[in-house]
Structure 1
Amino acid sequence: MPPNLTGYYRFVSQKNLEDYLKALNIHVALRKLVLLLKPDKEIDDRGTHMTVKTLSPFRNYVMEFEVGVEFEEDLRIVDGRKCQTIVTWEEEQLVCVQRGEVPNRGWRHWLEGEKLYLELTAGDAVCEQVFRKVR
């Protein structure tokens, strides 16, 4: 049975975010701004229905979905694109595949103790972010 990810998580660290943003073709000025942010995560896990919020002083992004059901995701707030998205469980990891203009795009979340890990992929770029559960 997959873990319940419900909680509020504070940013701890990240690796390789600039390469990920370049793979998404994010303009250099916006990349520099995004690299300064330390977003929090808030996850509401209700079994098959989930809400994942990425919260920052600059911009928030809310993703609400049913696990295992494909939907059109509007990512204009992130990079100006839309894509077909499906989120599923692969053992203990919540895995998102985003099919669209950018190949190999998606992410995976998993817990290790009180830490939430997020691996973002786009093209050949892989970024890892770590968050610590605070409530």
Structure 2
Amino acid sequence: MPASLCGTWEILNSTNLEGYMIALGIGSSMRKIALKLKQHKVIEQVNDKYVIKTLSTFRNYAFSFRVDEEFDEHTKGLDNRNCKSLVTWKGNRMVCIQNGEKKNRGWAHWIEDDKLHLELYCEGQTCKQVFKRVA
């Protein structure tokens, strides 16, 4: 069983966030704001349902899902698109494939060295983020 991703996490570093946002089609003024934000993540699990929240002083995004069960996701507050998403476990990584308007889109979360790692990818761009547990 993979390590629990549950907890409250504060971002330590992020690489290529701007490239990822450009691939999503996010405008330059919104990208400038997003690049200055200090993100927190809250990951919760209740029975077989996960809730992932990305929180900042500017905008929050939350969604819930069950592993191995496709769901409709609206990325409201991010790039405002609809996609069909499927989250699975691949080894110790929680992996999501998001099928929709943008190609090769998704993410992966995993724990390594007591840190939460996140890779976000879309149309050839990959953003890598690392978080530390704060609660």
Whether the TM-score (by the shorter chain) exceeds 0.5 is yes
Shift of 1:5: 1.1
8 Å Cα contact 2:86-2:97 kept in structure 1 = yes
Give, in whole Å, the separation in 1 of the partners of 2:78 and 2:8: 21
Q: Does 2:40 align with 1:59?
A: no
Where in structure 2 are there 5+ consecutive unaligned residues?
none
4+ residue runs of structure 1 moved beyond 4 angstroms? none
Q: Which amino acid in the other structure matches residue 94 of structure 1?
A: M
Counterpart for residue 88 of structure 1: 88
Counterpart for residue 39 of structure 2: 39
Report sequence identity in percent: 44
Where in structure 1 are there 5+ consecutive unaligned residues?
none
Q: Does 2:109 align with 1:106?
A: no
**TM-score of the superposed pair, with normalisation by structure 1:** 0.96
Counterpart for residue 12 of structure 2: 12
**TM-score of the superposed pair, with normalisation by structure 2:** 0.96
Q: Does 2:127 align with 1:127?
A: yes
Q: Which amino acid in the other structure matches residue 5 of structure 2?
A: L
Q: Which amino acid in the other structure matches residue 21 of structure 1?
A: M
Give, in whole Å, the separation in 2 of the partners of 1:11 and 1:76: 21
Shift of 1:32: 0.7
Count of residues paired in the alignment:
135
Query: What secondary structure does 2:26 align onto?
Result: coil
Shift of 1:74: 0.7
Shift of 1:47: 5.4
CA RMSD of aligned residues (A): 1.0
Q: Does 2:48 align with 1:48?
A: yes
Q: Which amino acid in the other structure matches residue 75 of structure 2?
A: L
Give, in whole Å, the separation in 2 of the partners of 1:80 and 1:63: 13
Give, in whole Å, the separation in 1 of the partners of 2:113 and 2:127: 20
